[in-house]
A and B are shown apart, each in its own frame.
Chain A
Amino acid sequence: MEIRILGPGCPRCHEVEKRTMNALIELNVAADVQNVTDIKKIMEYKILSTPGLVINGKVKCSGRIPSREEIKRWIQEEK
């Protein structure tokens, strides 16, 4: 599973990353998690606003901090 967190590095993006890591631990799923901070690369995902959460190439969320439950649900969907 490939997870990308899109954002230039503000506290919201870190929060998304934190929640994602916790969700992965809780579900006992392994994934390659990386931050994408370069604006040009972020725009390639065609999201509207950061923070963005991308799992296996699909944009699951953009422009807000998703809840723990939502992140867990998306991870389950992509397993």
Chain B
Amino acid sequence: MKEIKIFFIMVLIFLAAAFIPFSRPAVQNALGEAFFMMQEYARQHVLLCLIPAFFIAGAISVFIRKESVIKWLGPQANKIRAYGIASVSGSILAVCSCTVLPLFSGIYTRGAGIGPATAFLYSGPAINVMAIILTAKVLGAKIGLARAVGAVAFSVIIGLLMQVLFGRGEEKNRDQNEFISAEDHKDARPLWKTSLYMATMIGILVVINWSKADPSLRVWYFIYRIKWYLGGAWFAVLAWMLVRWFKKDELKEWTFSTWIFAKQIFPLLLGGVMVAGFLLGRPGHEGIIPSSWVAGLVGGNSLWANLFASVAGAFMYFATLTEVPILQGLMGSGMGQGPALALLLAGPALSLPSMLVIRRMMGTKKALVYILLVVVMAAITGLIFGAIF
């Protein structure tokens, strides 16, 4: 099949090259916007935000023992605690999006049941650590926080609702064996060390990205003034931690894991940025899609706008992190805050391909309910957020 794929790609490229009206000023402008947006990301977000975020993701995937977290989600687990853990653990357990579905399947069939499993299914992509960081940096702390809080809340609520609706029949069919844990944890680092290490990295990330504030906001502005000293000092602490608490092998694995993330995500993000730039332009500029269309469809904070954003987001496929530049373009073209949040909450969690896989795993009825829950709650949350802010 590979040769056929290559052939089709060549045909597509040829058609694009021959038929895209490059002479039209609108197209030229859109192309410019694609590159300008790429430059903006390269200059403003890559070094201080993306790279640290990749390191953090790498650390999570290497140093945090999934087994210890999953203990809380097994069949013997306290049900209430299971929801709490499932909703936040998505970011910890599934930093790589490809592990979400096997994990979901495991928790569903051998764990605490459909409730926590669905909570996890949603929270995995929705609370992606790197995505939240980039969202806060690019789109603003308010919406970043709203996304994080919304994602956690949704997981719990959707999980509970699914359990209420479908929980009964599940009890008998489930295989009550716990997960196989192939490891023993002789070398496990004490939890407090791992936590401090992660907190330090996140702290550095937050501090070096501290945005300029109004001098009247005393504390905020003060931190901004000393952000590099703070960052530097914290970095020295991190360096000490790395030397004292970690073996060379572990550091190598960490760097390697970081590199895998960078290799996987960076090209996709770049592509997403250019597409967003071409279609929507940077904030304050136009892309190929006229701002009036965007404002008409998803501007303001009407129920229709939120619903449309939510549904569109659910079907659209967003490669990891690409929802950020796309949203940046949309908001710059007139999308309201409410619909933007709706898209953030529905988009990364679902896509047409993922809907099909979920259907295969849960069955059509449950899958439909799940999708509906996500879309409706995203729209409502967007509505509320847009109304308050």
- Chain A: which residue is nearest B263 at the CB level? A11
Q: Is A64 located at the chain interface by the 8 A CB criterion?
A: yes
Determine the chain B residues whose CB is within 8 A of the CB of A42 once the complex forms: 102
The answer to whether A39 touches B96, judged by C-beta atoms less than 8 angstroms apart, is no
Q: Report Cα–Cα, A67/B179, bound state, in Å.
A: 22
The answer to whether A50 touches B264, judged by C-beta atoms less than 8 angstroms apart, is no
Known: A48-B70, A50-B98. A43 touches B109 (CB 8 A): yes
- Chain A: which residue is nearest B110 at the CB level? A46
The answer to whether A39 touches B361, judged by C-beta atoms less than 8 angstroms apart, is yes
- Chain A: which residue is nearest B98 at the CB level? A10
For chain B, the count of residues having a C-beta within 8 Å of the partner chain is 32
Determine the chain A residues whose CB is within 8 A of the CB of B290 once the complex forms: none
Q: Report Cα–Cα, A46/B179, bound state, in Å.
A: 6
A77 to chain B, nearest CB (A): 13
Q: Report Cα–Cα, A67/B177, bound state, in Å.
A: 28
The answer to whether A64 touches B105, judged by C-beta atoms less than 8 angstroms apart, is no
Q: Report Cα–Cα, A39/B66, bound state, in Å.
A: 19
Determine the chain A residues whose CB is within 8 A of the CB of B183 once the complex forms: 61
B interface with A by C-beta (< 8 Å): 61-62, 66-67, 70, 93-94, 96, 98-99, 101-103, 105-106, 109-110, 177, 179-183, 249, 253, 256-257, 260, 263-264, 357, 361
Q: List 8 A-B contacts (CB under 8 A).
A: A12-B98, A39-B357, A47-B102, A48-B66, A49-B93, A49-B94, A49-B102, A64-B66
A interface with B by C-beta (< 8 Å): 6-13, 15, 39-40, 42-43, 45-50, 59-65, 67
